[in-house]
Amino acid sequence: MRSMWKGAISFGLVMIPVKLYAATEQRDVTFRQVHRADGGRIKFRRICSVCGEEVPFADVAKGYELPDGEMVVLTDDDLAELPLPTAHSIEVVNFTPADQLDSILCARAYYTEPEPAGLRAYALLRDALERSGRVAIARVALRQRESLAALRSREGVMVLETLLWPDEIRVPDFEFLEQDIEVRSQELRMAASLIDSMTVDFDPSQYRDGYRDALEELVAAKMQGHEVVRPHPRAEEGGGSLADALRASLAAAKDTGGAAGPGRRGPRAGDAGGPDHAAAADGGGRKRPAGGTRKRQPRGKASA
Q: Where in the chain is the domain with CATH 2.40.290.10?
A: 5-25+82-167
pLDDT, position 100: 93
Type of residue numbered 128: A
Q: Does residue 163 surpass a pLDDT of 90?
A: yes
pLDDT, position 266: 44
Contact 280, 220 (CB under 8 A): no
Q: Does residue 273 surpass a pLDDT of 50?
A: no
How is domain 5-25+82-167 classified at the CATH fold level? Ku70; Chain: A; Domain 2 (2.40.290)
pLDDT, position 84: 63
What is the Cα–Cα distance from 9 to 151, expressed in whole angstroms? 10
Tally: H helices and E strands in the chain: 5, 9
272 DSSP 8-state letter: S
Note the pLDDT tens digit of each residue in 55-96.
998 888 888 888 888 888 887 777 776 666 656 789 999 999
Query: What is the share, in percent, of the chain residues with pLDDT greater than 70?
Result: 76
> Which residues sit opposite 74 in a β-bridge?
62
Angle at the Cα of 183 from the Cα atoms of 181 and 192, rounded to 5 degrees = 140
What is the Cα–Cα distance from 107 to 103, expressed in whole angstroms? 9
Contact 118, 18 (CB under 8 A): yes
Residue 81, CA distances (Å) to 85, 108, 141, 146 in order: 12, 27, 15, 15
Type of residue numbered 54: E
Contacts 24+ apart (CB under 8 A), 28-33: 28/212, 29/212, 29/215, 29/216, 29/219
Note the pLDDT tens digit of each residue in 230-272.
656 655 555 677 788 888 888 887 777 655 444 444 444 334 3
Q: Does residue 296 surpass a pLDDT of 60?
A: no
Q: Does residue 152 surpass a pLDDT of 90?
A: yes
Q: Which of 116-130, 169-183, 207-221 has the lowest mean pLDDT?
A: 207-221
What is the Cα–Cα distance from 175 to 171, expressed in whole angstroms? 13
Query: What is the share, in percent, of the chain residues with pLDDT greater than 90?
Result: 29
pLDDT, position 234: 58
- The CA-based diameter of the chain, rounded to the nearest angstrom, is 70
100 DSSP 8-state letter: G
What is the Cα–Cα distance from 160 to 20, expressed in whole angstroms? 8
Contact 19, 112 (CB under 8 A): yes
DSSP 140-169: EEETTEEEEEEEEEETTEEEEEEE--GGGS
pLDDT, position 291: 42
Note the pLDDT tens digit of each residue in 97-147.
999 999 899 989 999 999 999 999 999 999 999 999 999 999 998 877 788
